[in-house]
Structure 1
Amino acid sequence: MREEKTPETCSRCGACCAPDAEFCRNCGGKLRTAMDSVSVTTVAKGAMPPIPAVPLPSVPPPAGMGAAPSPCSPSGDHMKASARNPRKLPLTIIAMVAVVLLVITGFVVTYNLHLWGSHAVPYFSADDESPSADDVLARLQGDRFNAKKRQEFSKEKRGAYLRLDGVQEGERIERTQEITVVESLGPGVPEGTIGEDEGTATEILSDMGVPVTKYTMVSDDPGKVVATFPQDGHALEERDGTAKTSATKTDTGEADGTDTGTNVGEAAPDSPDGIKFAVGVKGDGVPVEVYGVAQAEAERLLRSRGFEVGVKLVPADRDMIGKVVRTEPQIGKESAASRATMYIGANAKDLRASMMITADGVEESELYHGKTPSDLSTLIGQWCTDAGDCVELAPTDSTNEGTQPVRYLQMKRDGEHVGAERLDNLPGVHYMPDYDVDKPEGAFRYQLGTGSTGVLDIYDTNQLALCGTQPRNGVGWYCDHGTPKSWEESDDDGRQHKDSGLVYRMSDYLIVVPVDADIASVSRSGYFVQSDEKTGQADADRPYLLIRDPRLYDADDREVSALSMDGGMAVVNPFIPTESGSPKMKFAPAPSAESAYYLVQPSPFDWTAMGEGEAVCDEQGCDVATKAPVKQKAADMTIAQIRSAVKRGDFTPIAGRYCQKKTGDCLTLDDDGTVTGPRSGYVKHDAMSTTLTIQSSVRATWFPEGTVKDHALELKAPESDTYCMNDRAGENQGEACLSGDYAYGSDIRQPLTLTYYAKGLDLSQHDEYDQYAFYGVTPPDPDTPFLHRPEALRPPPPADENVYYLVD
């Protein structure tokens, strides 16, 4: 019979536990069963007697654990109860699992809410309305992304969002990772375009959404892009006559604040001219490399090309001081001129010195020798505010074109003369020899230009008192309350009448502030009307004008009486310098960013003088597949465009087969300039083909200068094709034919020359010498392009009987 073990009662909580259990199933405490069940039968001698067991008090179960368990029953009912109630996990474990689940859920939720960890970059391209770059930047920065902005040129409107650099929309990144928002500056010429080859430049500019035209310019670096419009790194502006600062590409993270002449969000400027670029070619003229070069280096370069060199100083931006701003003849244009004038940017001191005129033929005296800063030719040009208000300073109509110096200017707006008849800096009616900057006298002494500040003033110096609109000068009349009356109109002796109603009226007054002029000293002297309005300072790195604005004065200040209290003439005109001092009426406006009319720096390249150029892209861009210009045929091009293409070796516009009506002989002209004749010796003494190149000009023809030459191209084979033979020296070719015995050979064949005549040129309209009637030939058909072989200018002229018409 099996011995039944006695259940154990936990001494901590009183729970009934299995007989063999070491730990309480209820509270986990250590049970005493294992030790107490061991019988100690012997006690060592001298050992302490057994200590009787001390009953422990019952420990109530922890809060939340339920009622205290029942004590063990010897009948074993607790075992049956255990069988009926399976063991449950401790509630603490359940609680811990719940906490873990809550923590995991919190991590997932907060992660998806971007409260920690990586974050998803928003989508912008899928928006219904294209956002601006500023909107995208604000959104990213509002979401605490590390975002900045960069600008580049594109066909999109200025301010438009183009893309993100560094990440993709929707990508998860850490907030510390840098994101660059790319903003459109509208169409323009990306920085670094100059120096590229033609193909690369075409690819760079092909997607700007505006026409792109190519030109050629004289250069020491042929085959490379040497000039662009707008300038390298600048935006394309509207050609509306206004001057606006061009934007430059920036790699900084912040918006650079550069004014590109259009408002953010405006459509890209609609410029019919589009973008232009020039490829360098070898030739005679001032090379493009002269532009922006220091004076000494530019002079050396021009002299090495055989030019006599002259210099003229002009106002210029600070970065062009001491450098070539432009030249005559024009930079980059082919020219046979032997003399070149360099226009060098100058600061206030050097500019004033260059404007000095000394009266020739005037005997110097103790007081006067006539030296004044009165050559105003350096001020000719367009001057504009940053807001786009422009005036032009131009020589007066009385100034002979090309005459130096220019002493009188006038203002124009939109090409029309406005304001005073003339502006100068020689007060009153005195002659120039009466003035000298070293010993200034009279009103001249109080002009700004005679001081040391470098500031100049030009104005209507002949401001007499006005009777109505008539200046009070001469005799035989008087002013009757503002109305001119002759002495004869008076009932009595009109000479006895005193003038009444004479006034001084405010007229044009301009102040010129070149770079480095001390305008601050002029301001401190009290010269200007001070305004309480907060305005920015004028840009001291650009030369500018200040133009007196009558609208800033009260009506009583714009017109004042010219008569003294006793009816006599007043001595002082308050609007101009006089013998008594500077103008009594202070000048308004004072210098500021808003009032300054900045000199518009002329382009060093006169693109209009370069011909029509070659259109390589239209508004839709270039050939999308190749990023190369689509080749055109002559029917779609002007003669200038054809000449430009042929000049760079592209004969595609005029390539084809040309045949004579009379003989049936044909010439084939390939895209590369190779011409092939019908038989050996026809185009070259020993071959059926040779290669043509364009000549700089068409040789003398049978027609007057002008239209015919302007609509023709002269093509010639190389000099090496020259062939000669005589009885003494035998045969030879090339340059040897032109020297020694060969020069007098009996048979010299010159290289092939062909003249291309464009469609639409009716030679019969230019036959001033009646050659067609004289030789009995018919003028060529003007509706078909043709080639003519001049045959050393032997007659007859190009005729239907001897030209090669384009067949296919």
Structure 2
Amino acid sequence: MPPAEGENPAPAAPAGAAAGVPADAAAVAAAPARKKLSKPVVIGIVALVAVIVAGLAAFLTYRSEVWGGKSLPDPASITSQASGKNGKKGSVVKAKDVTEALKAKGLKTKTEKVFSGSDAGVFVGYKGFSQGERVDAGSTVTVQESAGPGVPADTIGKDVNKVVSTFENMGVPVHYKQVIVNDTKNTPAGRVVATYPAAGQGVAKDELDKGIFVGVATKGDGLGADIIGKDKDKVESDLESQGYDVTMRPRFSSKKNVGKITGSDPAPGSAMSEGDEITLYYGIDAKGVKEAYSIHNSPETGASTNMLGVSGVASGTWCNNAGDCITFDNKDSGDDLDTGSIPYPTGKDGTEYGEYSTLISCDAIQQPYCSNSKAGYLLTGDTGAFELMPGQSLTNYWCGSTRVDGNSVGGTTCDDGEYHMQDYFVVVPEGADLKSLENDGFFDKDALAAAKKQKSVDTDRPFLLYRDPKLYDKTTAARSMSNGMANSNPFLPYNGYGSGKDKIVKMKPAPSDDTAYYLVEQAGSYDWDDLPDANVDTGSSKTKSSGDKTDAKQSKKSKTYSEDEIRSAVDDGDFTPIAGTYCLKSDDSCVTLDKSGTLKVKDGESPDLYSHATKLTMRTGSWDRYYSSPEDAPFLDLTGPDSDYQCKTMSGESLSGSDCLDSMDVIEANITQRPLNPLYIFKGATFDVADGGTPFNASSEGDFDSSKPCLYFMGYHMNNAPTTDTVYYLQ
């Protein structure tokens, strides 16, 4: 019967299907028989599977770094909490964290400090490698750690255009100044001849607002900066032939500069007039120490053998590799026969010594010679080294909490007082017999053993050692009287009186490259603010070459600026492109920003966290964890000076400025005021807040109109993204 309408016909059984046999079984039976795989094919399949498994295993073991070397970690995956320049806590990558990550991989590490716009201690990069790159297991990887802003050691002598890009990333103001040179054949115009800070030194914490000065060689008449490094006798003769009144003064120098000019007063590069007085400083080594300490009776008779224990020969700045510096300011009296002295009114330890205190090298008080023949002052020995100590430390002691000058008449006295360990330095000129000093037992044995395990000190450079009280278990000693004479102060060199020489405390630390404060050989003291600006193209209209002055003025008058022009000008301290009045959309508050960067409240309420008018500067590299370069950020990071900090210690003492950041007795909760931190947001800026790639809270949201540039005042922590209602728009 045909199927009813709407029904599907039943499927026909396969041909050959017997009655009562399932259709699928019949289908199998009806299927043609499969060919059996040959043995070679089976072997091939097995081999292919084995290759695939082996390849997969190799891939996985390579990826897990079982073989094929170790990959350098992506710093973005390594974070630690650190306090930035503006006091904020943020997720940053510290060099020490990267070092630990490398050691965990079995790699050896070295740390190299480099100057940058990042805070000190922040990871800068791998020297010679990039993140993700593979290195052989057991290799040594050099981790570059930021030392903060500073001047690279190889800056002097470079074409100024070759260093612009380096300095623009330091995060501090940079000033290019003209410095006169006389011989542009040997010192071509446009070369860097001097810097402040000196090459190889960082910007001091209290001078971040001052920034960096770069002296650029400029052809001119005067006391050329190119006298530095030339033979002292020739320079003296040349200047005297030009009608100048020249005085020579010895100063310590590295081996290469002995007998050569190392500086002058007025500074090298200064404009001069015929008849002007010039003091030339020339380099000496250990052989010239005693002469520098001798009284010059007259130019004809030369030096006598009377050493008065004072000299300005060690004047200058001495810095260790960690960036700590000690400066001895010397002011010669003006007497042509005077070798000067080193004033020391306040000690490194904080002791107030008074207006007339100086550093001395022996107890030559009211007598021409350094004590007697039994005295142990280094100056009278033959090593070439000598001590420096505050003059008053020879006679003072403590009665309870009161410091007493034992050389004065009347006042507080006590028979059983107390000696305190006070500032004490050992100066080791180039060429000194350091080995004899070590063999004579001058240094503490344990300190000497520790120094031998460190990198050797560079004896081709003059250096000094600061006796560090932190290395001593005991820094006080009893002062007792016997037969009307006090026992010797064990913290001072033996003077031939009182207790024996064996009672004198040995010197810590011993010399090594880590403990030495090397003399910074800087060409004189420049009056940087008085030097004319050099025409250096930094990309800002303010610093174009002299031929472009008209164009620069026209550019400043223009109503529109590119982001690069704005960024460059503000980085140079010129806020003209963004100066104006900024107001909230509600008009409840308005502020003004002038061309110098000074921000003031104009009308209404003050912005959040705003307390007073302040002068802003621009920071670069502040958000480098979010943007690969400052140019990628859609804003300028502006900040007030560190002097705006106000805080209290845990004991209740009020502090201000950088002291709040440096004190170990201040916790974050006790910082009551911080520098203002507004962002200048460019017109058309966009923020992808949700992905966490901005300095704003990823969970914050709101409408933001970026059709006009604006200011957004950042808080201390967890800032929400800017919105139309929270920013100050340029009017």
Give the TM-score normalised by the residue count of structure 2. Answer: 0.52
Question: What residue identity is the alignment partner of 1:628?
Answer: G
Pairs within 5 Å for 1:1-40: none
Q: Give the Cα separation in 2 of the matches to 1:424 and 1:84.
A: 113
1:455 aligns with 2:385: yes
Does structure 2 conserve the Cα–Cα contact (< 8 Å) formed by 1:317 and 1:515?
A: yes
Aligned residue in 1 for 2:306: 371
Does structure 2 conserve the Cα–Cα contact (< 8 Å) formed by 1:357 and 1:374?
A: no
Aligned residue in 2 for 1:238: 204
1:282 aligns with 2:219: yes
Pairs within 5 Å for 1:108-119: 108-113=55-60, 115=62
Partner SS, residue 295 of structure 2: strand
Question: What residue identity is the alignment partner of 2:462?
Answer: R
2:264 maps to which of 327, 330, 350? 327
1:95 aligns with 2:15: no
Aligned residue in 1 for 2:436: 521
- Per-residue deviation, 1:327: 1.3
Does structure 1 conserve the Cα–Cα contact (< 8 Å) formed by 2:265 and 2:524?
A: no
- Per-residue deviation, 1:217: 0.7
- Per-residue deviation, 1:412: 2.4
Distance 1:160 1:507, change over 3 A: closer
- Per-residue deviation, 1:578: 2.5
- Per-residue deviation, 1:309: 4.9
CA RMSD of aligned residues (A): 5.6
Aligned residues: 486
Question: What residue identity is the alignment partner of 1:410?
Answer: Y
Comparing 340-349 with 211-220, which one deviates more in the overlay? 340-349
Aligned residue in 2 for 1:587: 505
The structure with more radius of gyration = 1
Q: Give the Cα separation in 1 of the matches to 2:501 and 2:155.
A: 52
- Per-residue deviation, 1:290: 2.5
Q: Give the Cα separation in 2 of the matches to 1:141 and 1:415.
A: 38
Q: Give the Cα separation in 2 of the matches to 1:125 and 1:313.
A: 50
Q: Give the Cα separation in 2 of the matches to 1:590 and 1:471.
A: 27
Q: Give the Cα separation in 2 of the matches to 1:141 and 1:128.
A: 14
2:339 maps to which of 405, 410, 426? 405
- Per-residue deviation, 1:271: 1.8
Does structure 1 conserve the Cα–Cα contact (< 8 Å) formed by 2:388 and 2:426?
A: yes
- Per-residue deviation, 1:210: 2.8
- Per-residue deviation, 1:563: 1.9
Comparing 110-119 with 337-346, which one deviates more in the overlay? 110-119
Distance 1:89 1:591, change over 3 A: same
Q: Give the Cα separation in 1 of the matches to 2:244 and 2:411.
A: 61
Partner SS, residue 109 of structure 1: helix
Distance 1:284 1:131, change over 3 A: same
Q: Give the Cα separation in 2 of the matches to 1:463 and 1:431.
A: 15
Question: What residue identity is the alignment partner of 1:217?
Answer: V
Q: Give the Cα separation in 1 of the matches to 2:142 and 2:179.
A: 38
- Per-residue deviation, 1:98: 2.9
Q: Give the Cα separation in 2 of the matches to 1:88 and 1:346.
A: 100
Aligned residue in 2 for 1:578: 496
Aligned residue in 2 for 1:34: none
Pairs within 5 Å for 1:191-340: 194=156, 197=159, 199-219=161-181, 220-221=183-184, 223-229=189-195, 234=200, 236-240=202-206, 271-295=208-232, 298=235, 309-318=246-255, 320-336=257-273, 338=275, 340=278
- Per-residue deviation, 1:168: 7.9
Comparing 122-131 with 209-218, which one deviates more in the overlay? 122-131
CA-to-aligned-CA distance 1:253-305 (integer Å, 9 cap, x gap): xxxxxxxxxxxxxxxxx822233223222222222222244546655775786
Distance 1:322 1:461, change over 3 A: same
Aligned residue in 1 for 2:522: 603
Pairs within 5 Å for 1:750-761: none
- Per-residue deviation, 1:336: 2.1
Q: Give the Cα separation in 1 of the matches to 2:487 and 2:127.
A: 71
2:464 maps to which of 526, 534, 544? 544
Q: Give the Cα separation in 2 of the matches to 1:590 and 1:426.
A: 20
Does structure 2 conserve the Cα–Cα contact (< 8 Å) formed by 1:384 and 1:600?
A: yes
Distance 1:198 1:300, change over 3 A: same
Does structure 1 conserve the Cα–Cα contact (< 8 Å) formed by 2:310 and 2:360?
A: no
- Per-residue deviation, 1:352: 2.3
Comparing 463-472 with 284-293, which one deviates more in the overlay? 463-472
Does structure 2 conserve the Cα–Cα contact (< 8 Å) formed by 1:392 and 1:412?
A: no
Pairs within 5 Å for 1:123-162: 124=74, 131=93, 154-157=116-119
CA-to-aligned-CA distance 1:599-652 (integer Å, 9 cap, x gap): 6536325344442754999xxxx9xxxx522238xxxxxxxxxxx987x88467
Q: Give the Cα separation in 1 of the matches to 2:411 and 2:132.
A: 87
- Per-residue deviation, 1:376: 0.9
Does structure 2 conserve the Cα–Cα contact (< 8 Å) formed by 1:188 and 1:234?
A: yes
Pairs within 5 Å for 1:677-692: none
Distance 1:92 1:191, change over 3 A: same
Partner SS, residue 430 of structure 2: coil
Aligned residue in 2 for 1:349: 287
Q: Give the Cα separation in 2 of the matches to 1:569 and 1:457.
A: 25
Gaps of 5+ in 2: 1-29, 80-91, 556-731
Q: Give the Cα separation in 2 of the matches to 1:547 and 1:149.
A: 26
Q: Give the Cα separation in 2 of the matches to 1:141 and 1:179.
A: 10
Partner SS, residue 535 of structure 1: helix
- Per-residue deviation, 1:208: 3.6
Question: What residue identity is the alignment partner of 1:544?
Answer: L
Pairs within 5 Å for 1:373-772: 374-382=309-317, 393=328, 404-406=338-340, 409-413=343-347, 418-419=352-353, 421-425=357-361, 427=363, 430-432=366-368, 435=369, 442=372, 446-457=376-387, 460=391, 469=404, 471=406, 501=415, 505=419, 510-527=425-442, 530-531=445-446, 535-536=450-451, 539=457, 540=459, 541-547=461-467, 552=472, 558-564=477-483, 569=485, 576-578=494-496, 583=501, 585-593=503-511, 598=517, 600-601=519-520, 603-611=522-530, 614=533, 628-631=539-542, 650=549
Distance 1:418 1:319, change over 3 A: farther
- Per-residue deviation, 1:188: 4.6
- Per-residue deviation, 1:584: 5.3
Q: Give the Cα separation in 2 of the matches to 1:610 and 1:516.
A: 37
- Per-residue deviation, 1:331: 1.0
Q: Give the Cα separation in 2 of the matches to 1:162 and 1:546.
A: 31
Percent identical residues: 19
Does structure 1 conserve the Cα–Cα contact (< 8 Å) formed by 2:229 and 2:261?
A: yes
Give the TM-score normalised by the residue count of structure 1. Answer: 0.47
Partner SS, residue 603 of structure 1: coil
Question: What residue identity is the alignment partner of 1:311?
Answer: M
CA-to-aligned-CA distance 1:234-267 (integer Å, 9 cap, x gap): 4643244xxxxxxxxxxxxxxxxxxxxxxxxxxx
Distance 1:303 1:444, change over 3 A: farther
- Per-residue deviation, 1:312: 2.0
Does structure 2 conserve the Cα–Cα contact (< 8 Å) formed by 1:384 and 1:598?
A: yes
Does structure 2 conserve the Cα–Cα contact (< 8 Å) formed by 1:545 and 1:596?
A: yes
Distance 1:415 1:303, change over 3 A: farther
Aligned residue in 2 for 1:639: none
Q: Give the Cα separation in 2 of the matches to 1:548 and 1:127.
A: 39
Does structure 1 conserve the Cα–Cα contact (< 8 Å) formed by 2:160 and 2:216?
A: yes
Q: Give the Cα separation in 1 of the matches to 2:73 and 2:62.
A: 19
Question: What residue identity is the alignment partner of 1:431?
Answer: Q
CA-to-aligned-CA distance 1:198-238 (integer Å, 9 cap, x gap): 55543453344332211101023364132353578746432
Question: What residue identity is the alignment partner of 2:505?
Answer: F
Question: What residue identity is the alignment partner of 2:74?
Answer: F
